[in-house]
Amino acid sequence: MNIEWKDIKGFEGIYQASNTGEIKRVLSQRILKHSIIPQGYHYVKLSKKSMLVHRLIYEAFYGPIPSNLYIDHIDNDQSNNYLSNFQLISHRKNTSKDRSSKSGFTGVFEIKPYSNGKNRYIANAYKNDKRKHLGTFKCKIEASQIYNNYVHLP
């Protein structure tokens, strides 16, 4: 992959963002060290101001983020700030992904306790901003497989 660098808006000629997840100071060509906030997102300090790395990279390459959309890390790895790992999604979809992460699987939600005292898992998916209930399962891995099969259909 070729590394591409773009100026960061508001810091043109001072800082640049790469398509591989790095931020650098233009004059010294020094790559800035990332720090991590409690939610797992990476940030850097630009002129003493803390800024989220994924937002800097996205905006450097695509421009401002519409106020009704959020940057999603497609692979759910907040340390993977490659430009190719970003997509814009609605608040609804972003909230759904956040809730599902508690089960460890996108699209899978834990129900507890079930009538027999054991947990069950629901699989839900969104296509074209419409929710589809895919079923209730005894195992979160099975629920995840059903979810993945559904979302990867054409």
Burial 2-23 (b: 16+ CB within 10 A, else e): eeebbebeebeeebbbbbebbb
Average pLDDT taken over every residue of the chain? 83
**pTM, rounded to two decimals:** 0.64
pLDDT for 118 beyond 80: no
**21 & 74 share domain:** yes
16 vs 148: which has the higher pLDDT: 16
Residues 106 and 84 in one domain: no
What pLDDT score was predicted for residue 106?
Answer: 63
Q: How many domains does the chain have?
A: 2
What domain range includes position 114? Answer: 102-151
Q: What was the pLDDT predicted at 24? A: 97
Same domain, 25 and 82: yes
In this prediction, residue 75 carries a pLDDT of 79
| Domain's final residue, options 88, 115, 136 | 88
**Residue 99: per-residue pLDDT:** 44
> Is 23 within the bounds of a domain?
yes
**Residue 94 lies inside a defined structural domain of this protein:** no
Give the H/E segment covering residue 122. Answer: strand 120-127
Work out the percent of the chain whose per-residue pLDDT is above 70. Answer: 79
